[in-house]
C-alpha cells in the first residue's frame, strides 16, 4: 500500500512538472503567424493577434489581444478589438504533431462596431466574403469548424456612417457547431442603451459568403425596458420616446425577412413637444421586409390602448435615412377615455382642470413621409363626449353677441367631425362641425401649433334654446336662421381665449337693419367697448 502511494505521488509530481515546464519549453507564439493567416483567410479581413502563450490548465493557448480590420469602405479603425483571446486546442495534436485542431474560441471584452451606409450596406456584410470575377470563379470556401464560440463582457456599437453610435453593453454570445456549411445555433444577451435587456435565441446559416447580412436566420427575440429614444433605429429628431417591452420572432431566407410579435410601450411620447401618455400602448403586427429592395409591408397591425383597438396597415421604405412610411390607421368607436390618454403623447393638452368623459371617437388616418417629418391626414369623428369642468358658455360670454348664454360647469359635445393634418409644425383642422346641445352648431377651421397655440376662426349658429342679450341682440336673425355669429379662438389649449371676429361680423350681409342697430364698423366696435366697460 505504501509503495502504491509512493508511485502515485511520483506520477502526480511528474504531471505537475510537465504542466509547469511545458509552457516554458514549448513556444506557442510560433503558431501565431499561422493562426493569423488562417483567420485572415476565413474572415477575408486582416487579423492581428498579440503574444500567444500555452495554458495547459485552460486546454489551449491565450493571446493578449486581438483585432479584426473593418471593411475599408467603412473605416480604417478595427471592426473588432478584444482584450484577450482564448483558443481551445487538441493539445496532443499540437504538442506531438504540431497540428492546429481548434475546438473552442473565447473572446474576452471585445468592442465591435456595426456601421451601415445610406445605401443600407452593413460593414459586417463582407466578413468571410469570397471574390469572383467573370473569368475566374470564386475560390472554394476555406475550412471553418469550431465546436464552440463564446463572447463575454462585449460592447457593441451601432451607427450610420458619420453619425454618433449607440452602445449595447455586457454583450454575451454563445454559439456552437460553427461552419460555413450548416446552421449555427446561438444565444445573444445584452444591455440595451438606456438600461433595457435584450435576448435572442435561434440559429443562423449556412453563412452567405457574398453578403453575411443575408444569411438565413430563425430567432426569437425578447426585449425588456428598452428606451425608444436610444435604440438608434429611430431618428433623433422624431421626438419618439418611452420604455418598450417586446416579444417576437424573426425569420429570413436571405431574401425576405419575416417578423411578427407584440410590443408594449410605457410612457410613450410621439412628438418633441409631447409628454408621456397616461396609459400603456401595445402593438401586435406581422411584417415582411425585402432585403434586396430594402422595403417592406405591414400585413397586419393592431394598436391597443385600454379597451380600444385600431388597425394599421401599409408599407415602409428603408432605402433612405430615415425610414419613409405609408400607413393607414382605422379606429372605429374608440372609447374617448382611451383616446384622451394618448393626447399628451401627441403634444395636445386639454384646458386646465378639464377632462374628457364618456362617448367615442372614430378615426380614419393616413400616415405618410419620413419618420422625423411624418404627416398625418384624415378624418376624426367624436360622439356624445363630455368635456368635464369646462364651461363653454362662460368662456364665450366674452363675446357680446353671445353674452347671457345658458352655462353649465361641463360642456357636452353631441357630435364633432373634422378633417385633420398633423405635421411637425403642428395641426390644422378643416371643415370642423360641432353640435353642442346647450348652444347649437359651431363650424370653422384653424390651426394648433407645436407649442399648443390656437388660431381658429369659428361661427356659432344658435339653436332655439340659446338666448341673446346685449347690444347685438337686436340684429335681425343674428346667430339664428342663416346668420351665424363669427368668433375667434386663440390662446393655448390649456387656456383658450374666445374673441369676437369683427371681420366676420362685417361679412354677414344685413340688408335691412332693425331700428336702433348701429351702422358700420364704428357702431359694432362701440357695442364691444360698452360691453367691456360693463
**364 Cβ contact partners less than 8 Å away, ≥ 6 residues apart:** 328, 329, 330, 331, 378, 379
Query: Which residues pair with residue 88 across a beta bridge?
Result: 60, 104
What does the pLDDT read at residue 532?
42
> Which residue reads 367624436 in cell numbers?
382
What does the pLDDT read at residue 435?
95
What does the pLDDT read at residue 433?
96
What does the pLDDT read at residue 3?
55
Q: Which three cell numbers stand for residue 170?
A: 455586457
Name which of 188, 168, 186 is nearest 177 in CA terms: 186
Taking a C-beta distance cutoff of 8 angstroms, is the pair 257, 221 a contact? no
CA 494 to chain centroid, in Å, comes to: 29
Please tell me whether residue 14 adopts helix, strand or coil conformation. Answer: helix
What does the pLDDT read at residue 161?
73
* N-terminal to C-terminal alpha carbon distance within the chain: 121
- Whether the ω angle into residue 206 lies within 30 degrees of 0, i.e. cis, is yes
Name which of 42, 47, 45 is nearest 73 in CA terms: 45
Name which of 405, 321, 397, 332 is nearest 363 in CA terms: 332
Which DSSP symbol is given to 343? G
Q: What DSSP letter does each residue of 135-186 carry, written as one string?
A: SSPPPPPPP-EEEEEEEEEEEEEEEETTS--EEEEEEEEEEEEEESSS-EEE
What does the pLDDT read at residue 328?
96
What does the pLDDT read at residue 116?
81
CA pair distance 190, 186, nearest whole angstrom: 14
What does the pLDDT read at residue 375?
93
Mean pLDDT by 10 residues, the chain (534 residues): 53 44 53 80 87 68 86 90 80 52 82 84 82 46 72 88 82 88 92 89 89 91 88 68 93 94 91 84 95 91 92 91 90 92 82 90 94 90 93 76 70 94 91 91 93 91 62 44 81 90 57 38 38 42
Query: Which residues pair with residue 440 across a beta bridge?
Result: 436, 462
What does the pLDDT read at residue 511?
40
Residue 451 phi/psi, 5-degree rounding, is -110, 15
CA 324 to chain centroid, in Å, comes to: 13
What does the pLDDT read at residue 479?
47
CA pair distance 165, 158, nearest whole angstrom: 5
The angle at the Cα of 483, spanning 499 to 446, to the nearest 5 degrees, equals 40
What does the pLDDT read at residue 61?
76
CA pair distance 283, 310, nearest whole angstrom: 10
What does the pLDDT read at residue 126?
86
What does the pLDDT read at residue 220?
97
**475 Cβ contact partners less than 8 Å away, ≥ 6 residues apart:** 401, 483, 510, 513, 514, 517
Amino acid at each position: 500500500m505504501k509503495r502504491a502511494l509512493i508511485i502515485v505521488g511520483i506520477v502526480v509530481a511528474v504531471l505537475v512538472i510537465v504542466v509547469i515546464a511545458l509552457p516554458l519549453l514549448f513556444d506557442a507564439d510560433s503558431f501565431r503567424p499561422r493562426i493569423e493567416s488562417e483567420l485572415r483567410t476565413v474572415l477575408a479581413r486582416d487579423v492581428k493577434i498579440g503574444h500567444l502563450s500555452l495554458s495547459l490548465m485552460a486546454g489551449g493557448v491565450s493571446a493578449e489581444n486581438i483585432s479584426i480590420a473593418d471593411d475599408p469602405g467603412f473605416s480604417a479603425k478595427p471592426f473588432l478589438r478584444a482584450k484577450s483571446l482564448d483558443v481551445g486546442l487538441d493539445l496532443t495534436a499540437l504538442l506531438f504533431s504540431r497540428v492546429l485542431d481548434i475546438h473552442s474560441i473565447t473572446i474576452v471584452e471585445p468592442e465591435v462596431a456595426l456601421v451601415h451606409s445610406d445605401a443600407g450596406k452593413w460593414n459586417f456584410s463582407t466578413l468571410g466574403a469570397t471574390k469572383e470575377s467573370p473569368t475566374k470563379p470564386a475560390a472554394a470556401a476555406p475550412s471553418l469548424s469550431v465546436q464552440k464560440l463564446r463572447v463575454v463582457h462585449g460592447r457593441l456599437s451601432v451607427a450610420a456612417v458619420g453619425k454618433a453610435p449607440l452602445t449595447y453593453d455586457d454583450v454575451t454570445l454563445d454559439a456552437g457547431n460553427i461552419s460555413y456549411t450548416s446552421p449555427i445555433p446561438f444565444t445573444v444577451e445584452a444591455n440595451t442603451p438606456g438600461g433595457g435587456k435584450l435576448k435572442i435565441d435561434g440559429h443562423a446559416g449556412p453563412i452567405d459568403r457574398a453578403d453575411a447580412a443575408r444569411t438565413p436566420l430563425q430567432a426569437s427575440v425578447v426585449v425588456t425596458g428598452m428606451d425608444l429614444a436610444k435604440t438608434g433605429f429611430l431618428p433623433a429628431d422624431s421626438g419618439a420616446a418611452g420604455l418598450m417591452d417586446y416579444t417576437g420572432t424573426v425569420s429570413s431566407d436571405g431574401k425576405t425577412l419575416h417578423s411578427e410579435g407584440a410590443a408594449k410601450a410605457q410612457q410613450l411620447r410621439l412628438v418633441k413637444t409631447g409628454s408621456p401618455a397616461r396609459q400603456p400602448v401595445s402593438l401586435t403586427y406581422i411584417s415582411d421586409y425585402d432585403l434586396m429592395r430594402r422595403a417592406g409591408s405591414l400585413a397586419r397591425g393592431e394598436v391597443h390602448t385600454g379597451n380600444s383597438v385600431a388597425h394599421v396597415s401599409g408599407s415602409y421604405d428603408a432605402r433612405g435615412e430615415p425610414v419613409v412610411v405609408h400607413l393607414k390607421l382605422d379606429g372605429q368607436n374608440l372609447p374617448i377615455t382611451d383616446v384622451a390618454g394618448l393626447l399628451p403623447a401627441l403634444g395636445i393638452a386639454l384646458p386646465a382642470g378639464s377632462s374628457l368623459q364618456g362617448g367615442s371617437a372614430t378615426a380614419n388616418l393616413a400616415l405618410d413621409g419620413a419618420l422625423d417629418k411624418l404627416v398625418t391626414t384624415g378624418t376624426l369623428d367624436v360622439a356624445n363626449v363630455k368635456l368635464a369642468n369646462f364651461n363653454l358658455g362662460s368662456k364665450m360670454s366674452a363675446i357680446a353677441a353671445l353674452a347671457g348664454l345658458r352655462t353649465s360647469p361641463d360642456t357636452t359635445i353631441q357630435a364633432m367631425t373634422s378633417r385633420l393634418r398633423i405635421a411637425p409644425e403642428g395641426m390644422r383642422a378643416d371643415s370642423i362641425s360641432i353640435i353642442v346641445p346647450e348652444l347649437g352648431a359651431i363650424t370653422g377651421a384653424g390651426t394648433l401649433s407645436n407649442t399648443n397655440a390656437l388660431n381658429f376662426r369659428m361661427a356659432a349658429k344658435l339653436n332655439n334654446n340659446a338666448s341673446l342679450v346685449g347690444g347685438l341682440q337686436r340684429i335681425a336673425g343674428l346667430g339664428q336662421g342663416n346668420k351665424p355669429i363669427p368668433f375667434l379662438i386663440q390662446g393655448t389649449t390649456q387656456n383658450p381665449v374666445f374673441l369676437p371676429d369683427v371681420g366676420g361680423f362685417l361679412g354677414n350681409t344685413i340688408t335691412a337693419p332693425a331700428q336702433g342697430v348701429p351702422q358700420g364698423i364704428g357702431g359694432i366696435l362701440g357695442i364691444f367697448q360698452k360691453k367691456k366697460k360693463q
